[in-house]
Chain A
Amino acid sequence: MSTTNKMTLTIEAKSQNESFARSVVAAFFIQINPTLEQVEDIKTAVSEAVTNCIVHAYDGAQQGEIRIACVLTEDTITVEICDFGKGIENVEQAMKPFYTTVATGERSGMGFTVMQAFCDSVNVTSQKGLTVVKLTKKVA
């Protein structure tokens, strides 16, 4: 399926940017006529990925770059959330429900589980200095 539109958003890893980031992706997604539920799903999944960047990749320092690249085709949105932080040591383990590396702060450990439940696919690649979370969601 050929690309119909794309956009890239770069934000600082500050928690006040979370709402902004998920709203921008949702507004872009609307171009391919998703249902309200699908819009809410992508908002939630993006919020989870951005939270991971802020809390884990950059250890809550409230600084660091997060790049969000969206591509639309006729029936699919692909959202790549990239950070340049510390990386995920064991991606498979990180994606297990209730797994968290942060003992304080009441983390639920459900971030990746929510992304998987709310998207059609979630792919994660990570090394020190670059983590990419790729979400796809179909409207059909």
Chain B
Amino acid sequence: MELYTNFEGSTMIFSLVGELDEHSASFVRRKMDEYIENNDFDAVVLDLNKLSFMDSTGIGVVIGRYKLLQKKRKKMYVRNPSATVDKIFNMSGMYGIISKI
């Protein structure tokens, strides 16, 4: 699992590369929290173009970051999910709180 960040204007983009499961969850959680705490931004976008797999552990990770951002009054969005990741987001009701752009 790899995690990259870059900025598009004042939006911080997280690109998730690989498989988000129980094994990679703690790494993703730690890295994202580090970037969120140490940068100024208006919103966060999770770019899932290269995320080949995600299960419900990943749902927990995303909801955890969503809650952290909510405390900071910042929005979170997702983009480019694969069909299989999109299915997980849909069936878990994640799109009810995090918009796909």
Contact = CB atoms under 8 A, between A and B. Distances in A.
B and A form one assembly: yes
Interface stretch (B36-44, B56-64, B73-81): B56-64
Nearest to A110: B56
Interface string B41-59: 0000000000001011101
Interface residues of B, number: 20
A27 to B, nearest CB: 14
Contacts, number: 64
A44 B22 contact: no
Given A16-B23, A18-B22, A37 B84 contact: yes
Main secondary structure of the interface of B (DSSP, over half): helix
Contact of A19 (B21, B61, B83): B21
Interface string A100-130: 0000011111110110011000000000000
A47 interface: yes
A51 B60 CA distance: 13
Interface residues of A, number: 25
A54 B23 CA distance: 10
A42 B22 CA distance: 17
A51 B22 contact: yes
A44 B85 CA distance: 10
B19 A110 contact: no
7 contacts: A18-B21, A19-B21, A44-B53, A51-B22, A106-B63, A108-B60, A114-B55
